[in-house]
Amino acid sequence: MKNYSIARSRRLRSTPYTSRIEKQGVTAYTSYNHMLLPAAFGSLEESYYHLKENVQVWDVAGERQVEISGKDASKLVQLMTCRDLSKSKIGRCYYCPIIDDRAGIINDPVILKLREDRWWISIADSDVILFAKGLAIGKKFDVKIFEPNVDILAVQGPKSFMLMEKIFGKKITEMKFFGFDYFEFAGAKHLIARSGWSKQGGYEIYVENTESGLNLYDKLFELGKEFNVKAGCPNLIERIESALLSFGNDMDYDDNPLECGLDKYVNLDTDINFLGKEKLKEIKKKGVTRKLMGVIIDAKEISVSKSINLINGKNSKIGELRSGVYSPHFKKVIGIAMIDKPYCKVSEIFKISINGEVFEGKVCDLPFI
Ligand code: THG
């Protein structure tokens, strides 16, 4: 398939790190929240192996923050998510499906509780700010909603702990998964969380002071030499193997969190108030009619740019593939698919047409690894 370059304009925002990653060899961009998100630095497979063994620094500024503050901030945040935040703590991150009144997923952000009345919603690729503003206006909530200048740098991989310790000291290695705290670098404070869109371990630095953030970026590469640090980005192979879901790819407005295996983040038994609660109760009672599952396909390559139907021996559609990639670990194509309930069985067999050629595949559980 021919590749095209991406046309730059003000609408497709650059990040403070763009000029640096372009020097470091970014080879593909995608767009995320109307911003450039690096999608490749050369070979996807080489980056995959490097991420699993070393440390990478990622420009994930596209993970924008929606800040909600004010008297009704907690009420509004809770209204948007089916996860019970009534016992949430300041200094913690929470992975929370945001759903609408029909229980369709609007986004699947990480939510940070900064204060009792101040939150950051660290969003996936959809305009949560408009949804939040609409609700606040309709409900006459006393809140302030805006997108602050925060540009996340992720430090990911098994050697991220040693690298971050060198810069911030031992305290940073003692932080728990999904906790966050403030750390000083060259006179500026940075919010750093133990999180990130890989299962290889690491941190996310929420850079508010751009100048200090750029110095920190350079420091990470200077001190990271001994850990073989490289510029990287969310890796398609690693994230599918780990089943980190991608909003807009694996799930969308027409899917509910129970279909997407997000049951852990759905709380229907407490007295919190959120949009779609009754609808979700109804869905839970009836049982879902389809589910996101893993699939393994006897093919060597794939490029998914729209859903691809999965067909059984009787020529009926049993589901659709939504993301896929060749995994060097399994030596096959692996993917994430929405499968109709009767076929949500491990080893269920199907056929799939990739570039006009038919391949066989089977259903499996998520995550792959
Ligand atoms: N970091 C930050 N913002 C983000 C992402 C991120 N916004 C967009 C996107 N990624 C949101 N999606 C996810 C999906 C999964 C996770 C984080 C963000 C994740 N999940 C863990 C898991 O599945 O094991 C644990 C979640 C939990 O148990 O609480 O980390 O990456 N800032």
pLDDT, tens digit, 9 for 90 and up, residues 205-225 = 999 999 999 999 999 999 999
Q: Which of 93, 96, 156, 197 to mutate to test the pocket of ligand 1 (most atoms within 8 A of CB)?
A: 197
**173 and 313 within one domain:** no
**296 and 235 within one domain:** no
**Which residue among 210, 240, 270 closes a domain?**
240
**Which residue among 175, 210, 240 closes a domain?**
240
pTM of structure: 0.97
Rg for the chain (alpha carbons), in Å? Answer: 21
Q: Domain containing 203: what range? A: 18-63+150-240
**Residue 170 included in any domain:** yes
**317 and 173 within one domain:** no
Please state, in angstroms and rounded to a whole number, the distance separating the CA atoms of residues 103 and 101. Answer: 5
Give distance in angstroms: CA of 109 to centre of ligand 1.
Answer: 7
**Residue 98 included in any domain:** no
Task: Reduce the secondary structure of the chain to three states and give it as a string.
Answer: CCCCCCCCECCEECCCCHHHHHHCCCCEEEEECCEEEEEECCCHHHHHHHHHHCCEEEECCCCCEEEEECCCHHHHHHHHECCCCCCCCCCEEEECCEECCCCCEEECCEEEEEECCEEEEECCCCCHHHHHHHHHHHCCCCCEEECCCCEEEEEECCCHHHHHHHHHCHHHHHCCCCEEEEEEECCEEEEEECCCCCCCCEEEEEECCHHHHHHHHHHHHHHHHHHCCEEECCCHHHHHHCCCCCECCCECCCCCCCCCCCHHHCCCCCCCCCCCHHHHHHHHHHCCCEEEEEEEECCCCCCCCCCEEEECCCCCEEEEEEEEEEECCCCEEEEEEEEEHHHCCCCCEEEEEECCEEEEEEEECCCCC
Query: Measuring from atom 29 of ligand 1, which residue has the nearest CA?
Result: 95
Atom of ligand 1 nearest to the CA of 125: 8
* Mean pLDDT computed over 30-52: 98
**171 and 26 within one domain:** yes
pLDDT of 31 strictly over 90: yes
**Residue 256 included in any domain:** no
**Residue 354 included in any domain:** yes
**48 and 157 within one domain:** yes
**Which residue among 211, 240, 269 closes a domain?**
240
**235 and 156 within one domain:** yes
Atom of ligand 1 nearest to the CA of 264: 28
Give me the pLDDT at residue 3, please. Answer: 81
Per-residue pLDDT of 224-281, as tens digits, reads: 999 999 999 999 999 999 999 999 999 999 999 999 999 999 999 999 999 999 999 9
**Residue 231 included in any domain:** yes
**174 and 56 within one domain:** yes
Give the pLDDT band of residue 44 (cuts 50, 70, 90): very high
* Mean pLDDT computed over 169-196: 97
**Residue 213 included in any domain:** yes
Specify the number of domains making up the chain. 2
Give the pLDDT band of residue 187 (cuts 50, 70, 90): confident
Give me the pLDDT at residue 163, please. Answer: 98
List all residues whose CB is within 6 A of at least one atom of ligand 1.
Answer: 63, 95, 108-110, 122-124, 152, 178, 195-197, 204, 244-245
Q: Which of 95, 107, 246 to mutate to test the pocket of ligand 1 (most atoms within 8 A of CB)?
A: 95
CB atoms within 10 A of CB 61: 25
Q: State both tokens at 155.
A: 């430090």
**Residue 70 included in any domain:** no
Give distance in angstroms: CA of 211 to centre of ligand 1.
Answer: 27
**Residue 223 included in any domain:** yes
Per-residue pLDDT of 76-107, as tens digits, reads: 999 999 999 999 999 999 999 999 999 999 99
Per-residue pLDDT of 310-335, as tens digits, reads: 999 999 999 999 999 999 999 999 99
pLDDT of 1 strictly over 80: no
**182 and 38 within one domain:** yes
